[in-house]
Amino acid sequence: MKDMKPSDFADFLTFEGVDESLSVEAYIDKVLAEKFGPTFGIGWQLDSIRRGFTRVITFNQLSRVGITEADLAETICGSTRGYDDDFDINDVFRVAADTEFTSCPPLVNGFWRTVNSFEPQLKRKFIKFVTGVDTLPLGGTEFLRIEMPFTAISAPDHDKCLQMLPQAHTCDNTLELPHYWKSLCWREQHDEDKRSAALEEELALLLRKKLQDAVEYSSGYGLDGTSEVTGVLDDKSLYADDQLSKEESYDSLGLPALSEGHDLPFESSQPSPQSFKHEEAEQQEETEDIPAIPAAVVSPRPEESYDDYDWEEEEQSVS
């Protein structure tokens, strides 16, 4: 608005129906007062928020510790760091992990090497998988918990552990991680307390695949995927049949593909008068062919009582 020509700004004031003698700065002050002033717009709401906030911590206290308006906004709303900017997860969050995790160097090294090697977009998805939001908090203000609640004892348990995906509880920023290192050592009959370069490399590959699968496929339901391929289904002739998986077609859902232009037969749910008369005549013929059955005579039954049965009452001992 400050870059507008004086004639254009005068026309704007006329269109708004305000005093045409106002300068640009005066008009901006007028609009701000109307929107955020104490007696207009949402000003009373902002004033209530301000008074409630200062009851907890005063502006003088914020000034003494050197917190600026930008710092306060970042603390409340999250980091303003760009979505494509790289970061280390363990530098942003305060990590609290189970002793079973921290006491296993191959798993600790493999896990952090894996997640910190993710590209920034995948790191954001990992953060959203664990916390529910992809906005980064102010460094060191939020916990990220790593728990290992799954116990593998038998051979089937270890096989199942190697197939499991990590799980998350966004309510308390918790990642539940299977003990892949222990199960790999069990499979290879290797002492889990001893290092093995080959097994650690396999562990890193396994961690990357399991974490990436959990992060990428943790949202939505199976039916949601059909909307992603509607552009493909509009013209299937451009693609070979083997290029469309069963999950990426309406055929797997038993639904008609309306985009293919098939004419669906119209079936009315209302019977025609001719069919109704025909059914009525058939029912009358069937009724005439059935011989009459005499009504059964029901003899009165004597009144029953609990004495006629051998009832056993369960005795309850009182301790």
What do you get for the CA distance between the two ends of the chain, in Å?
A: 87
Q: Which of 77, 104, 161, 171 is catalytic?
A: 171
How many CB atoms are closer than 10 A to CB 66? 7
How many CB atoms are closer than 10 A to CB 200? 17
Q: How far apart are CA 27 and CA 19, in angstroms?
A: 9
The distance between the two most distant Cα atoms of the chain, rounded to a whole number of Å, is 108
Q: Going by C-beta distance under 8 Å and a sequence separation of 6 or more, which residues neighbour residue 14?
A: 20
The answer to whether residues 116 and 89 touch, using CB atoms and an 8 Å cutoff, is yes
> What is the number of H-type helices and E-type strands within the chain?
14, 4
Which segments of the chain does DSSP mark as H helices, in order? 6-16, 24-36, 43-56, 59-64, 69-77, 89-92, 99-102, 105-115, 120-131, 155-163, 180-188, 197-216, 230-233, 273-289
| Beta strand extents in 212-262 (DSSP E only) | none
Helix (H) or strand (E) holding 158: helix 155-163
CA nearest neighbour of 1 among 17, 34, 32, 23: 23
Q: Is 161 a catalytic residue?
A: no
Q: What angle do CA 159, 163, 244 make, to 5 degrees?
A: 140
Helix (H) or strand (E) holding 176: strand 174-176
Q: What is the DSSP letter of 282?
A: H
Letter for the amino acid at 188? E
Residue that is written with structure tokens 């029953």 in the block: 304
By annotation, the residues acting in catalysis are 171
